Chain A
Amino acid sequence: MVFDQSDFNELTRKAAEVTLQAADVPRLLRLRLGPEHELSKAAEEMLGRLETLVRELRSFHGIPETSPNDTVER
């Protein structure tokens, strides 16, 4: 299968953007409800899965895995 590099770059960029946007959800829930609340934990899990997707997309098409954009500041 042949992959279009620029296409994957674009997908990765979009995924990183969604991750950054979604990071407010666990952040706000943690502030309001505390880190032990079920909703906060579920939101943390959500953010973790998005970060994993971005990391794997990067490594799939050759961008170094240790990009500082892979993990959102919590």
Chain B
Amino acid sequence: MTELDYEYLLRTLSDAHSRANEIAIAVRGRVGVEHRLSELGNSAVAQIETVLRDMRRAVAEESQSAHTPERLSASDAATITPPGASPRSPVRSPAPASDPAAEHWFPAFVNELLERYRADGGITFETVENILQARKNAFVQDLLIARRMYRAYPHLFQEASSSPR
């Protein structure tokens, strides 16, 4: 997950929360608190809150882990490990958001093919086609989301492109 993803998700959730809350209040005002519609409204708002809370926690944990020694390289970790103690495995840092090559679908596709080829001791055209189709679907979905991100919060992209790399 990139910072941009988190930013977009948090904004979308916050916005959805306040709008859903308004709807839930309006529904309660019209049908009464005991009505099934009111319960459904409250339940939807409560679940948005849950996701928002979990998301904020994930962001906090991610930013915390970005500032802990766990992100040192393996050689750094070995240097500071006391003799006799087993070195902690370094946390795999996410692909940098500013490196499009690292996130390109093609190397990931080839790697997946190779993994399947090695695991199964061969590969069929059908498997290759299915994997390619799944990659294509994911790519199209990603593109649509990126477009909506840009339409909804264009300034996030300006911030991302002007931030230091």
Binding site for B on A (CB under 8 A): 1, 3, 7-8, 11, 14-15, 17-18, 21-22, 24-25, 27-29, 31-33, 38-39, 42-43, 45-46, 49-50, 52-53, 56-57, 60
Contacts and interface: CB of A to CB of B under 8 A. Distances in A.
A18 B19 contact: yes
Given A14-B22, A15-B20, A17-B19, 10 more contacts: A1-B32, A11-B23, A15-B23, A21-B16, A28-B9, A46-B47, A49-B44, A52-B40, A56-B37, A60-B37
B145 A24 contact: yes
Contacts of A15: 20, 23
Interface centre among B37, B51, B54 (most CB of A within 10 A): B51
B131 interface: no
A21 B30 contact: no
A52 B40 CA distance: 7
Q: DSSP majority for the B interface?
A: helix
Given A18-B16, A28-B5, A31-B141, A46 B50 contact: yes
Contact of B12 (A8, A17, A21, A45): A21
B50 A53 contact: no
Contacts of B50: 42, 46
A4 to B, nearest CB: 8
B101 interface: no
B36 interface: yes
Contacts of B136: none
B102 interface: no
Interface string B123-158: 000000000000000100110010010000000000
B5 A32 contact: yes
A59 B106 CA distance: 46
Given A24-B148, A25-B9, A39 B58 contact: yes
A33 B1 contact: yes
Contacts of B65: none
B138 A49 contact: no
26 contacts: A1-B32, A3-B31, A7-B30, A11-B23, A11-B26, A11-B30, A15-B20, A18-B16, A21-B15, A22-B12, A24-B12, A24-B145, A25-B9, A25-B16, A28-B5, A31-B145, A38-B54, A42-B54, A43-B51, A46-B44, A46-B47, A46-B50, A49-B40, A49-B47, A53-B44, A56-B36
